[in-house]
Structures are given as C-alpha cells and as structure tokens.
Structure 1
Amino acid sequence: MFPAASAPIEPRDPSSLEDALLAAFDAAGFARIHPPILQPADVFLDLSGESIRRRMYLTADAEGRELCLRPDLTIPVARAVIAGGMRMPARVSYLGPVFRFRGEGSGEFRQAGVESFGRTDIEAADAEIVALGLNACALYGLPQPQIRLGDVGLFAALLEALPLAPALRRRLLKDFGQGRLDADLGRLRDRPQEGASAHAGVLAALAGADPAAARALITDLLSIAGISTVGGRTVSEIAERFLEQSSLEAGAGLSAETAQILSRYLSISGTPDDASARMRALTAEAGIDISAALDVFDRRSGFLTAYAVNLADVRFSTAFGRPLDYYSGMVFELHDPKASISDRTAGPLVAGGRYDKLLSRLGAEHCVPGVGLAAWVERLAALDLSAEAAR
C-alpha cells in the first residue's frame, strides 16, 4: 500500500507538483531512473508499427543507423532495466521529456510514470498501478477522474477459444483497440468473397504452406525486388499480410456464428461486476471456455476494491484497447470527467496497462510480467491551474 494523496502542496507551481508526484512514487517503492533521450528508432518501429514513423523525430548516426528522440518512456525504461541487469521484481519511476508530433501543440512534452516488472501476483500489481494513477490525479486536484478499463487478455482468450485460422486470429488481435474491428467483422464474414484477388496466383501458392517457409519466401522475393516498404509497411509486415490473405482466400474467414459471438462480446460494457456476469453468460451460451481469463478479471476487481477503488465508478468496455501491440492484459485510462469525450485534444491524464511480453521482445532471456502507467504532467498541471482559477 502507498500513502494517499494529501492536499496539493504550496506553492502550487508545476515543478513543485512534479516533485510531489515523484515523492509519491518513491514512497510506493518505485526508484527513479533516467533513460537516454536518444534511442534506436527500429525498436519503436518494430513494437509500435511503421505508422508511428510520421510522428517521430528521426536522425542517424555516423554509420547510418536510424535514431530517434524518444517518443515515449516505457520502452526506454524497459531497455534500461534489461541493460542494467536489474534483479526482479524491479519497480522504477521516471519523469522527463518525450518527443512526438501530436498536431495539438508542441512536439516536446513531459511524462511521468512507473513500471513494475517481475511481479507474479498480476491482479494485485494491476490494481496497484491503477491506484497510483488515481493518486496522481488527486495530487493535481482531481480526486475522481473518469476511469476507463479494458482487457486485451480477455479478447485474446476469446479468440483462442473460437474456431479461427491462426492468421485471422493474429489479424483480429492486432486490430483490437485501433477502431478497425467493426470493419473487419463485416469484411471477413463468410469469405471468400466473389471475384478473383489481384494476387490470386501468389495466394494460391501460399495456401497450406508452412508459415515460416512462406514468410521467408515472400521476404526474399521482396528483398530481391528491392522493396523495403510499401505504404508504410515493412517487408515483414507485407509478408504477414500475404499470409493472412492466403488463409482468408482459402476459406478461413469468419463464419456468421463466430462473427455474431465477437460482435456480442464487443458490445459489452458497464461496471466490472456487471460486465463479468454478461461475459460469463455469453460464453456459456456459446459453449466456449474463457473462465481462466475471467477469473483473473474478477480477482483484479477484488484488489481494486482493496485499494479503495469504487467499482461503480469504473467503466469497463470489452472493445476498449490501446493502439500498441505489446499490451497483453489490463489497459486503462483516467480522464477529466468535465472534458468532452469527443474532444480528442484533451486526451487521457493517465494511461497504462499490462505488457508481459515487452521485455522478451526487447531482448530479455525470459518472459517477464510487466505493468505500468504514464502520466501527462502538463495536462494534469492544466487541471490544477483551472482549479486555482475557480477559487
């Protein structure tokens, strides 16, 4: 447990509030680290996709290796934890500038946050991170932010339980949280569609082939042709897309029954307890078993209650994810309830979630459980200024 936020300290200036936020993280057992600002660009492109390139500030070293100003701090912190050989569990905090074109103001802004690596009691660790985010909002004068909760792990468990081709399962999971699933469900239902594909010959040759060999073949062909990217996609992403298409052209699309189950699942929202009951009812009716993932969900709700989070104030949605494919479980955002949901410039005050595969994808020898949050301190400071003006 960590100390509850007290009234914001005086004088109420941004640096004092940042100091208080770091002190709260330190009191909770998170030691501050300082990852480098300049990072290898390929790490972010591999984990976040080529679409992030247009929002990054890029440069190159003398050998031509592509570098970037860090567009977030989670990945640099994770890399620093691996490079430093930190013993697990490791609890770290950070505060500093990040650099990303946002279209809403300066490309340089400040983030604070915490990352918890190596804890195996994942439900308790998840709840602690949400509580720390609420504590950060309270420190800046917002004791009751809007709490949005989702769960990538639940959706992944549902996909595993459904009769889906592996390529299609990967496609749906990749699109989760990016606003493309509704289009996917309509486009992929009852494939193959009428009409020949423009790449029917290639797709037919790949149908039923060993995935690793097919991927290597496509990659070699593209490399021989001198193609490195197409429409922002890397060679590996193009190869994966061809494999997906060959699977779909072979008739491995969504059946009407499976599409209906997915649509019904993605329409569930409400408090965690209500949503859990509805998910259990749906899966029982459909004859599929995701009880292990739902048990994790329910245990996390219990730990949230233990951290004095009122579940009636939590808005859970099965369709809510975050557009980074390294998330593997709980995702959450804290918003100013006075801000319009349609006001995209407002953005979350705090956001985070679970990413159990991140360290292994960055080079760690083993899969290490991880969960964390990022706080947009300038958005939080604007809340504080608004509260002061209202006095």
Structure 2
Amino acid sequence: MHRTARLRGTAGHVWRTLLASAAALLVLTSGAATPATAAVQAPAAAQIPDGVTAGVAVFDRQTGTFTEQVNAGTQFRSASVVKLLLTLDFLWNRGPSYVIPAADRARLEPMLRSSDDDAANYYWSNYGGSAIINRMVRELSLTDTAPPPAGYEGYWGYTALSARDTVKIYRYILDTAPAPVREFVMGNLRQSTRCASDKFDQHFGIAGAFDRPWAVKQGWAGSSYPKGTCGPPDTAAATRATTGARTAAAPEGRAADAVNLTRPALHTTGTVGAGDRTIVAVLTLHPDGTSYGKAYTDIGRLTRSLNVPGGVRPTGKWYGTWSEHVNVRRDPSTANPPMTQLPAGVEVLVGCQKQGQTVSVPPYTNDWWAYLPQYGGYISNIYISSPDNRLPDVPDCAAS
C-alpha cells in the first residue's frame, strides 16, 4: 500500500522523478499547493477528490444559513463521531449542577480529546448500546441517525449519521444545552490531541485547514489503515479495529447494508472561528485499499475548499511527501529523538525551510529541512515530493 522507506540506484531515481512530476501536476491541476491567504475565503463549492464519497454541511451560526451542503442527508457509519452522542446521553438529566464523577471525567475527557475507544466501549456496554442512539434521536430530533444494523448491535462505530444531523448535534450543544454541558464538551474538543489514543494522527480536515480557534471531533475506520504511528515511534499502539471498537474483531460488513460498513471512512466535524461561528461536518468514504495518508490528504483538500465564514487559513505551502515513518524533529537534525511520525505519503503544510544536517537516501543527499508549523517541527526536504533540494517557493526560516 505504501512506498518503501528507501529508494535505491537508478530505479530510485526514476521513481523520485515520477513522484516529483506527479506532485507538480497535482499542484497545477488542483491548486492544493497554492499559498492560502487568511483574508480570502475559498469558493462556495466543495471540491470532492476523485473516488471519494462525501457528505458535507457547513452552517454559519452568525447568519443562520448553510454555506455548503453536498449530500448532507446521506448516511455514513459514524466511526468515532458517535462519541458526541455517548457523552450527551451520559450528561442528560444530570442537572442542575451537572457534576461529573471523577471516574467518568477520566473516561469522557480522553474520549472527546483523544477519541479513546475503551471509554466508548464502557458507555456503550453500560448505558444501553443502541438505546443510547434511540434516546438521542428522540431528544435532538435527528432525522438521519440510527443504531447499528441488525447483527452489529455491539459496534457503536456502525451507528448511522449524516452531515446535517451532525450540524444539528453541534447546534444543540452550542445553543440549547445547559452551560455546564456546553462548556464540558466544547472545552474538551478545543483540546483535541494530535495523537489519538490509538496513535493515529487525528489533526486532519478542520484541524489542518484552519488556524485556531477550532474544536474538533474526528472519526476514522478502515482495514487498510496501518497501525498508528503518531508520537514517538516506540510508543505506537496496536491497530484500531475497523468499527472503532477494540473489544472484538470487526465483521466484514454486508454489501446490501444501507450504510456502507466496509469502505475506509474518515470524518472531520466541529467548529471554526471565534465564538464557534461556523459548524463544519465533512463525512467521507474512500476507495477500498486507500492508505491513511491518501485519505488524510483528500479530506484535507476537500475541507480547504469549503466556504467557512470566520475561518482563518494557515500561511504556508502544501506539499506531498513520500516514504513511510518520516520523522518530525524539533530541529533540522537527527540528533534528538523524533517528536512524531507522518502518515505515509501525507500532504503537509510547509512554513519555511533552513539548512541543517545532511540526510542521505542513496543516491540522494539533502541538507535542507522543511518546517511544518502544524507539527512544530522539521522534516528533511529529501522526503518532500519536489525535484529541488531547496524548495523554490518556500521562504527561508528566520535566523534564531
């Protein structure tokens, strides 16, 4: 599924040339590598990558209108986005104080911030499973949300959900829920960790397309996704099951199911801008066998194309990368342990570049390093899909 970590000899040269040409073509055809200006909004037309099935809803709370709707009522399997409903169900009728016991706070906070599956398993098992979804459908007047299908009742990630129902959930949290509920949920979503509990990099979509302030709850599910590698490499955790639940191996799914249970899914949901101005819900399915890095890149491009009032787009240049297990480091050298690793082949935002330690991937060497502002660290330019050692359209980093 992924390119090998090293390219060798003449074959390596050919592949590097092809990769660079493909990257340049993507830049010319998609506009993905064009520097984004904070003051300029993208056109009000979602640009959905080839092969991707998407449900999109963007709601401007200031004007009370949708700026984007594409297949907004289409049902997708929720993956971890359902954790919003698990949290709301637990907090329901706990007023007026809404005091959360310490044991539950210790579960709910990592479930919202880091998408912890063990916590979701606990609430699903102890609070009624599908009955949770039925209660929330009734209380929030959801129209496209349904429990997992018959035969999959134990898999919370198979809950059906649409983009417009996701917007409705956020509108309840922001505009109707008691203040302690709103502050608890949104406060934790604002503290979303880059590395999820299962070591997947979860700062795709909204978190990559816009500068803070934002708050996100993400979802992902797919048997083609590799083991998580976010964070220091020696802490990588076991593979996430395809439903988002770790308690049992996930079934294969059925082709006749109304909601697709098998294609790789990647969802980004949350709010963007000061005062949580705009609610964004982007639910996506990708072709069978799609790598995590490819899905991550595609949902990023789609999210960046949206008209999101109040959203501030980060400054920099988007570039593709190649190789697996590319390390992000605090400075342009290999002297210190890596901070984290990139998803294989993912597109990254480059803020500036500087010379540092020479890196060798025979027959190539390169002493230029790219600074990734969204990671707060550097990768060697040798892993960026460009024919030049020094990226021609990226400024040098200011001297420190």
TM-score class, shorter-chain normalisation, is under 0.3
TM-score by length of 2: 0.27
> Of Structure 1 and Structure 2, which has the larger fraction of its residues in helix?
1
TM-score by length of 1: 0.27
Q: Which structure's CA Rg is the greater one?
A: 1
